[in-house]
Amino acid sequence: MALVIPVILCGGSGTRLWPLSRSGFPKQFLVLSGDDSSRSLFQQAVERINSIGVDKKGVGDKITLGETLVVTNEDHRFLVLDQLRELQSIKATLILEPVGRNTAPALSMAALCAQQLANGIDPILVISPADQTIQNEAKFTQALQDSIQSVEGVKNSIDILGITPIAPETGYGYIQKTGSKDQNNAYIVERFVEKPNVKTAQ
């Protein structure tokens, strides 16, 4: 049975959504979705990532879900705690960054903390940003469960979820895949291109 530790990256400032999103109240703490008006993007992310432990076609019962880790900064500590308090069934530990340094240091801190919480077991980390909107949550949950099965028991393995682009986009990263799907619907990643120019995106 896989030990899975959910990790929510919640350090963004959300400046692109100004004036709704401000440094003291960034977009991940806003309620933006019309179909779940009582939950912020952050709360939806926490609930969504914790749903992987719910049985779906015999997969959820093979997962032991650990305590959720939330990587955020000192300025948003009380916002995070207030919003977590409303999700009464989910336990979480906060990892507070003194200064934001983007994704790699945040993930490094989460991995070190997860190792301590796992008591000698090598856990699988399922990592999600706090500010996504997912339209088909059931399909997303299934993709995460497939991903967990793909990496379980494989040393130094990383799975990444992606979508097929519908147009060239310079604001997102691209994953170039090779070969065909394996039994877990996974491809081998050949390379990753971060926020390319228009020509490369095309």
Q: What's the pLDDT score for residue 99?
A: 76
Q: Where are the domains of the chain?
A: 2-154, 162-202
Q: Which residue has the tokens 């949550």?
A: 137
Q: What's the pLDDT score for residue 33?
A: 64
* Tally of CA atoms within 13 A in the half-sphere of 126 that contains its CB: 32
With 0.75 as the threshold, say if the pTM is over it.
yes
Q: What's the pLDDT score for residue 106?
A: 92
DSSP reduced 3-state for 198: helix
What is the rounded CA–CA span in Å between residue 155 and residue 41? 32
What is the rounded CA–CA span in Å between residue 106 and residue 130? 13
Q: Report the CATH fold assignment for 2-154.
A: Spore Coat Polysaccharide Biosynthesis Protein SpsA; Chain A (3.90.550)
Quickly list DSSP for 82-126: HHHHTSTT--EEEEEESS---HHHHHHHHHHHHHHHTTT--PEEE
What is the rounded CA–CA span in Å between residue 102 and residue 100? 6
Tokens of 4: 């899975």
Cα–Cα nearest to 48, from 124, 160, 139: 139
Q: Along the chain (202 residues), what's the average pLDDT of each consecutive run of 10 residues?
A: 90 56 63 69 91 64 88 87 89 87 89 90 92 88 89 87 90 88 82 91 90
Q: What's the pLDDT score for residue 21?
A: 47
Tokens of 108: 């490094």
Tokens of 60: 């959820």
Q: Which residue has the tokens 């991995």?
A: 111
Q: What's the pLDDT score for residue 70?
A: 95
Q: What's the pLDDT score for residue 112?
A: 94
